Amino acid sequence: MRKLRTLDLSECILLAKIPESIHTLGSLKFLYLKGCDLLSRIPHLGGSTVSLPYFVVRAGDDDESSSNLVLLQSTDPVELQISELENVKSPGEADRIKLVEKHSLKDLKLEWTRGVERFVYDKMLLKNLVPPSTLKKLEICGYNGVSFPAWLVGQLPNLVSLVLRDMANVEEWNTSYSSDEEHVIQILEIHGCPMLRMKRSLLKAKSWVISHSDNVLSSLDECTVSHASVSSSTSPITIVLSVKYCKGPHRWRLLQHFTGLSSLSIHNCGDLTGSPEITHHLSSLEALCLEDEHMEELPKWLGELASLQSLEIRWSNGVTELNETMRQLTMLQSLNLSYCHNLSLPHWLGELTSLKELVVCSNDVLRSLPESIQQLTDLQKIKISNCPKLEHVVNESLEGMMKRTHNQETVCVMPASLKELTIHICHGIKSLPEGIHQLTNLKNLEIDECYYLYQWCKLEESKKLAHIQNKSFVW
């Protein structure tokens, strides 16, 4: 294939390696690798070959005055990821590729390798890598400058997603130069920027993700914030907030800038039990996810979230019980308790009267679901996974087992509204509750890696389980 000019391997999803000999194809001009997610590395290509959308900057020989970045001058891709920008030898190379004129470009990622020497200061280079106004997605990784050039956000009116990642030295971000004060982006993510402080006006985004960036949180009080509304609308701008691995002082004061949140995730941010100020700004919260391997008890303010519809508690091995205050969560529709190995379920679970979905995953102490679950007349889905001590799906007390219908049949202790039941890797359970055939709404039953229950289901499949449309029994 010595005359080959274009090689398109896009969407070759199983492609893991390209032979190094590809650099011998002297006529090859373009190599397309979009969707080749398993490709571990891009081999060194010939001097005039352009790899898209993944372009690796090569510095070339010491006597060369420029890198291969200039090869992008003749391209106009929709998506472009430029890595190893530390190999660019002069700011003029960025000018020559005329990134700002590539109006087809919608998705751009700029990446420096951390901890290696540069030919050009990062800020000088980034200043000349001005994207076109058509850009919708931008990600910057490994940038080593102290501040950002003015074009970031200010000259990108169509931007919907911005990700800043692994920037150990960035100290400030002044977004007051934005030319469009009404511009609201969909997603803003800040990861691994421990020195970064927001300055003056705060960028408007519907969804914020902040991780390993303590100063971002503490600097919000220094910003002019207008997150309550935009233009004449009275709807909140930011409705989704995720905070991960941020343990700086006064970190929850940021919530005063995000009134109207509908979704909040807090991951490994230290003790939450002594933070009652959290609830002052969460009157509209509908979804909450808490995750902390060192958390020993759930915060009492959980019961004050009157609008909460979805609650997820994950990776909290120190938590042994749900708070009594949670009995007040009568609007709760989904409860997910995953990887909380020592958490017991309360007898009052049935008081969560709006509950439609219950998920319990990787629990080392659970022996059964409480009998009060029968009171959950809206419950449609139960999923139980990896609960080695589970002996019964639902705890059937002597009183419960003696309940009979007018036909002298045992009443099923599970709610009649149930539509889906999934049980994975629960070796101790030997049968489903008596009266399971009465659950006429049950349409989906999945049993996986439960040896004794698998045997029972196969035996009763044509009798007690005949009414279930979709059944999957795997051992």
Instruction: Give the confidence band of 402 by pLDDT, cuts at 50, 70, 90.
Output: very low
- pLDDT of amino acid 229: 39
Instruction: Give the confidence band of 228 by pLDDT, cuts at 50, 70, 90.
Output: very low
C-alpha span between 219 and 237 (Å, rounded): 19
C-alpha span between 309 and 325 (Å, rounded): 15
Please tell me whether residue 285 adopts helix, strand or coil conformation: coil
Q: Are 278 and 272 in contact (CB under 8 A)?
A: yes
Instruction: List, in order of start, the domains of the chain with CATH numbers.
Output: 1-52 (no CATH), 344-475 (3.80.10.10)
Instruction: Count other C-beta atoms under 10 Å from residue 93's C-beta.
Output: 24
Q: Which amino acid is at 49?
A: T
Residue 90 has pLDDT above 60, yes or no: yes
Instruction: Give the confidence band of 25 by pLDDT, cuts at 50, 70, 90.
Output: confident
Strands 185-191 and 161-165: parallel
Q: Which residues pair with 264 in a beta bridge?
A: 241, 288
Q: Which residues pair with 404 in a beta bridge?
A: 410
Burial readout 260-289 (b: 16 or more C-beta within 10 A, e: otherwise): bbbebbbbbbeebeebeebbebbeebbbbb
Q: Are 267 and 243 in contact (CB under 8 A)?
A: yes
Give 282-297 pLDDT, tens digit per residue. Answer: 889 999 999 998 889 9
Strands 381-385 and 357-361: parallel
The separation between CA 241 and the C-alpha centre of its own chain, rounded to angstroms, equals 11
| Across 329-333, 340-344, 406-410, 449-453, least confident range | 406-410
Give 30-70 pLDDT, tens digit per residue. Answer: 899 988 888 888 877 877 888 899 999 988 766 667 899 99
C-alpha span between 314 and 434 (Å, rounded): 32
Q: Which position has the higher pLDDT, 383 or 401?
A: 383
End-to-end, the C-alpha distance of the chain in Å comes to: 50
Residue 409 has pLDDT above 70, yes or no: no
- pLDDT of amino acid 181: 60
Give 248-305 pLDDT, tens digit per residue. Answer: 766 677 787 788 899 999 999 887 876 676 777 888 999 999 999 888 999 888 999 9
Please tell me whether residue 209 adopts helix, strand or coil conformation: strand
Sign of the torsion angle spanned by Cα atoms 228, 232, 235, 237: negative
Say whether pTM exceeds 0.75: yes
C-alpha span between 156 and 135 (Å, rounded): 7
Residue range 179-194: average pLDDT? 85
454: enclosing H helix or E strand:
helix 451-460
Instruction: Give the confidence band of 180 by pLDDT, cuts at 50, 70, 90.
Output: low
Q: Are 352 and 376 in contact (CB under 8 A)?
A: yes
Burial of 206 (0-12, 13-18, 19+ CB in 10 A): middle
Helices (H), 223-274: none
- pLDDT of amino acid 456: 96
Q: Are 144 and 112 in contact (CB under 8 A)?
A: yes
Instruction: Give the confidence band of 401 by pLDDT, cuts at 50, 70, 90.
Output: very low
Instruction: Count other C-beta atoms under 10 Å from residue 165's C-beta.
Output: 18
Q: Are 286 and 312 in contact (CB under 8 A)?
A: no
pLDDT above 70 as % of the chain: 90
Residue range 121-131: average pLDDT? 95
Burial readout 362-371 (b: 16 or more C-beta within 10 A, e: otherwise): bbeebebbbb
**CA dist 16 → 50, 82, 158 (Å):** 19, 20, 35
Give 333-357 pLDDT, tens digit per residue. Answer: 999 999 999 999 999 999 999 999 9
C-alpha span between 274 and 76 (Å, rounded): 53
- Residue with tokens 């993944």, as numbered in its chain: 54
| Across 268-272, 323-327, 398-402, least confident range | 398-402
C-alpha span between 25 and 20 (Å, rounded): 11
Burial of 474 (0-12, 13-18, 19+ CB in 10 A): exposed
C-alpha span between 413 and 298 (Å, rounded): 29
Region class of 254: left (phi > 0), else alpha (psi between -120 and 50), else beta: alpha
- pLDDT of amino acid 230: 39
